[in-house]
Amino acid sequence: MEQVEYFEVECTEETGGAYYRRIADVVLLDHNLIRVIKKLHISIDPGVPIFIAVGVTRKLPGVVRLRDFAEVNATGQKIIISIGDETHLAPLLQILWERYGKESVEQPDRFTIVLSAEGQESGDIEDLPVFDPTESIYKDLIYALMVIQPEGFKVRRQWYGKEKFYLVASEDTLPENIEDLVREKFALMGERL
């Protein structure tokens, strides 16, 4: 966890806290999320019981657009898309089918898509957003926190966005002032929610 700027596990029981520090370390490493996290504060009180994890992510990669992995050529009434990297081909096809209909999208070979779209500028298509990595990273992050949390904590609240995230879990109903508790934990890291 050296790459993480701030990593603290706060627990009312010393031994339990040390175990959860190790568990968080192992889980984040296994899920390949260490490089994503900038700050992480975990607070556990088995007496209440409550588990709060708050954190800040590093700057995440931006939206992948069509021009990032393909070349677009407009010839007459047809637009030919030559794919350079297949990674995002499946979501691209989904988007094109939805926008132009399956009858207008042809794929003569693996790396070429021919689009019969009249009056379309190739420039518009080049800017087409295909994949947003932040969404899946935050989802993975929340899943990892769910793995870390004590096993019986089935009542959860989670939130992510603006490079920040939190997950609160308990086996009882969550207290009403939960957002205040989360803000307190963010303040410990020198951040504001």
Partner 1 sequence: MNLVPVTYKGGIYRHDEIIDLIDDLGGYIIQKHVLAQEVVLQALVPKEDIGLIAAIAKPLTGEITPSPLVGTEIAVVTMSLEIHHLPHASCDVAEYIRRFGAKTNMVGLARGFGKRIAQMNDEERDVINEHDLAVYLLGDFETCIQQKFPVLRRGIEIPMVVCGGPSRETLQRIIDPPVDGYVGNVGRFMHRTKESEELTKLDEVVEEITRVLDRKREEIAKDPPSVSPARLMDVINEQVDEIHEVFSPTPITVQMTGLRVKLPYDTFARVLRDIPIEEGVTIGEIADIVPSRMRDYILIRIRPFSETNIMV
Residues binding partner 1 (CB under 8 A):
12-13, 15-16, 19-20, 22-23, 26-27, 30, 44, 46-47, 49, 146-148, 150-154, 171-172
Between CA 41 and CA 82 the distance in angstroms is 45
**Would you tell me how many other CB atoms lie within 10 Å of the CB of residue 19?**
12
Compare residues 29 and 63 and give the one whose CB is closer to partner 1.
Answer: 29
For the bound state, the minimum distance from the C-beta of residue 67 to partner 1, rounded and expressed in Å, comes to 38
What burial letters (b/e) apply to 84-106, b meaning 16+ CB within 10 Å? eeeebbeebeebbeeeeeeebbe
Compare residues 132 and 171 and give the one whose CB is closer to partner 1.
Answer: 171
For the bound state, the minimum distance from the C-beta of residue 34 to partner 1, rounded and expressed in Å, comes to 15
Compare residues 47 and 61 and give the one whose CB is closer to partner 1.
Answer: 47
Compare residues 46 and 84 and give the one whose CB is closer to partner 1.
Answer: 46
For the bound state, the minimum distance from the C-beta of residue 51 to partner 1, rounded and expressed in Å, comes to 11
Q: Are 141 and 33 in contact (CB under 8 A)?
A: yes
Residues 6+ apart with CB under 8 A from 39: 4, 5, 6, 7, 55, 56, 189, 191
Between CA 4 and CA 21 the distance in angstroms is 13
The secondary structure of 76-120 as a DSSP string is TTEEEEEES-GGGHHHHHHHHHHHH-GGGEEEEETTEEEEE-TT-
For the bound state, the minimum distance from the C-beta of residue 106 to partner 1, rounded and expressed in Å, comes to 42
For the bound state, the minimum distance from the C-beta of residue 49 to partner 1, rounded and expressed in Å, comes to 6
For the bound state, the minimum distance from the C-beta of residue 142 to partner 1, rounded and expressed in Å, comes to 12
Compare residues 21 and 65 and give the one whose CB is closer to partner 1.
Answer: 21
Q: Are 31 and 24 in contact (CB under 8 A)?
A: no
Compare residues 153 and 165 and give the one whose CB is closer to partner 1.
Answer: 153
